[in-house]
Amino acid sequence: MTLAGGNKLITENSIQTEEKVNNIKVLKFGGSSVADFNKIRHIADYLKKRVEQKEKLVVVVSAMGKTTDALLKNVATLSERPKESALAMLLTTGEQQTIAYLSIILNDLSVESVALTGAQAGIRTEGHHLKSKIQTINTTKLQALFKTKDIIIVAGFQGINHEDELTTLGRGGSDTTAVALAASLQASCEIYSDVTGIFGTDPRVYPETKKMDYVSFEEMMELSSLGAGVLETRCIEIAYNNNTKIYTGKTLSEEKGTWIVPNEQIIERKAVTGIALDEDMNYVTLSYPMHDTKVLTSLYELLEQNQINIDMISQTVNIDGMQLSFTMKNTEQYQIKAIIDQLTASYPALLHEIKDNYAKVSIIGSGMRDMSGVASKVFMSLIEEQIAYYQVSTSEISISLVVDAGNAKQAVQILCKKFNV
């Protein structure tokens, strides 16, 4: 498959001479689900039962537990600035251990399986070594393997670029791997973790929140992009563009999880479906005492070159000059500091401030399109509780506010009660 036509994934090789295998399901198990050998054995037993039901399975796995963190800690003792290509090569070994262990156990259970790295599974990537995007997936090998194998185990989070270098897909990369494979094979995707499904908000913040049986692609993309932290936005975008249904549930649990489905399959739309809290953000303000837009052009060019996303952008121009404010992920604070240093070298009068004592609270719901008064309820609810908000941005189905970090969880609780989330 390849990325084409509005990022829609289409099959790269149609296998003209051979019939495709049907009844394929793609399953993904996260790091907590495969954290030790005992857990991997239980998953193997479960997969054997699925095979006995005549299913063909592609199983995508993450690295075991905190393996990736341990690898990064090792690197920190060796170098402050490791080469990205070398770091990507190292990080891919975590998932490769998991696929090998799971395949060994499955074969001992007399289940025909094979373990593949992302590269061996036909996943081609482009972009930075540590934040690559899937460019194509060649499914020919997978289809051929299903003639003799019941389970194909694929290392998540990784692929290979046009220079045959190993790459990683960044945060949430294993979810992206699973959904992209499901899209290419025209299968559904099941993502399992230690969470029972998708809730209206983080249950640790508001324990009374309700689990959703269904949520639309559109709402899930907003929730993910605004900090809900359940699934990465990229995997939802792939699912949306290819009409690939996603099921999220707790590993080896019989409790019902949540289906993420096309928008038109959601019949009743609530004004507010979910509330996201993003505490992992920085609030950046740049001030320049002249009306010179070249500094902004230089900023945006550097942000694009470094693939840094910013949001909640506001710009003011007055007699004192220009001021630009925006929010961004705090995981990229070193990159933004380097960019600002570059800008300051060219524009010495540029001043900047990076604050980490704020949080972003977002209200999401596709029903906002048809229901009036949602914004006023949000603002009035916070004003009544004397919770200040400093910046607001909106879309058709969301409202986001920047608040003091110390008030963020209380703001979420107030809004959950107000909108029965």
Q: Extract the annotated binding site for ATP.
A: 28-31, 204
Q: Which residues contact 137 (CB under 8 A, 6 or more apart)?
A: 1, 2, 9, 12, 121, 122, 123, 124, 180, 181, 184
Q: Which two tokens stand for residue 150?
A: 């019941």
Rg for the chain, CA atoms, rounded: 23
Write out the binding residues: 28-31, 68, 95, 204
Give me the residues paired with residue 28 across strands.
60, 191
The helix, strand and coil proportions of the chain, stated in percent and rounded to the nearest 5, come to: 35, 30, 35
Write out the binding residues for substrate: 68, 95
Question: By C-alpha distance, which of 303, 296, 292, 291 is closest to 332?
Answer: 303
The answer to whether the CB of 97 falls within 8 A of the CB of 115 is no
Neighbours of 18 (CB within 10 A): 11
Give me the residues paired with residue 86 across strands.
none
Parallel, antiparallel, or unpaired for β 310-318 and 321-329?
antiparallel
